[in-house]
């Protein structure tokens, strides 16, 4: 399973990268805005840290505007993936970009049929948002299960990025279902990196070691 980091914060990316936990990065307009930095400057810096897919989202809502932005963004680095919203215009843009061999990530996916359209349009990645579904008392993980089965039935190449991850269980469940990728916020990665029994066990080992040396 690949881990992407869901952030535009370069300090978080550097830290997780030093643990070998960053196979790629996803950003979105909200995450970029939170950093208060120039969009292209941040994306360029992320690409310098991580040698893997880096999703940069278009702001336009019409196909031609999306294509124009995409063709500029891919000039930044070979690893840029164009993130497009799951709209009719977004699907048209995905279809065109796929024909130009430009990698795409169809985002804001909330239903299996949206995911099916993304795959048929030739998306490289699809991003179902599980946390936002859970917030509406709909089972986000059930959506992942459906997409995994559907893509496997027809051998689609589109990779599933489990997005809107809110807690470690989301990552565990996604891994058990065989999702290709989870894009994880830095604080969630930190939550499952440690375990109180590991800390307790290590303390006991070191205490015993130091006692025996006296």
Query: What are the residues binding ligand E4P (CB under 6 A)?
Result: 6, 26, 28, 107, 127, 129, 131-132, 163-164, 183
The nearest distance, CB 20 to ligand E4P, in angstroms, is 21
129/151 with CB nearer ligand E4P: 129
The nearest distance, CB 166 to ligand E4P, in angstroms, is 6
Side-chain half-sphere CA neighbours of 125 within 13 A: 33
The nearest distance, CB 164 to ligand E4P, in angstroms, is 3
The nearest distance, CB 162 to ligand E4P, in angstroms, is 9
Take residue 88 and report the two structure tokens written for it.
């009719």
Of 83, 92, 203, 214, the catalytic one is 83
- 83 in Cβ contact with 4 (< 8 Å): no
18/187 with CB nearer ligand E4P: 187
Whether residue 92 lies in the annotated active site: no
**How many other β-carbons are positioned within 10 Å of the β-carbon of residue 29?**
14
Helix (H, G, I), strand (E, B) or coil at 179: coil
- 84 in Cβ contact with 125 (< 8 Å): no
Strand residues in the chain grouped as ranges (E): 2-6, 24-26, 54-57, 80-85, 104-109, 125-128, 159-162, 181-184
Side-chain half-sphere CA neighbours of 56 within 13 A: 26
65/131 with CB nearer ligand E4P: 131
6/173 with CB nearer ligand E4P: 6
Place of tokens 């031609």: 64
Residues annotated as part of the active site: 83
């Amino acid at each position: 399973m690949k881990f992407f980091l869901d952030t535009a914060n370069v300090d978080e990316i550097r830290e997780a990268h030093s643990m070998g936990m960053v196979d790629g990065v996803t950003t979105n307009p909200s995450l970029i805005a939170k950093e208060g930095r120039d969009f292209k400057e941040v994306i360029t810096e992320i690409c310098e840290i991580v040698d893997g897919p880096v999703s940069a989202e278009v702001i336009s809502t019409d196909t031609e505007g999306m294509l124009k932005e995409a063709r500029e963004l891919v000039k930044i680095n070979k690893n840029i993936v164009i993130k497009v919203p799951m709209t009719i215009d977004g699907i048209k843009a995905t279809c065109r970009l796929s024909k130009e061999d430009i990698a795409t990530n169809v985002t804001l996916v909330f239903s299996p049929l949206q995911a099916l359209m993304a795959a048929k349009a030739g998306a490289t990645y699809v991003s179902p948002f599980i946390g936002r579904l859970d917030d509406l008392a709909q089972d986000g993980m059930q959506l992942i299960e459906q997409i995994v089965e559907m893509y496997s039935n027809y051998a689609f190449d589109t990779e599933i990025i489990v997005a809107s991850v809110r807690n470690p269980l989301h990552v565990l469940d996604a891994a058990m279902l065989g999702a290709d990728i989870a894009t994880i916020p830095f604080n969630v990665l930190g939550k499952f990196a440690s375990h109180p029994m590991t800390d307790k066990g290590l303390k006991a080992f070191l205490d015993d070691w130091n006692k025996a040396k006296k």
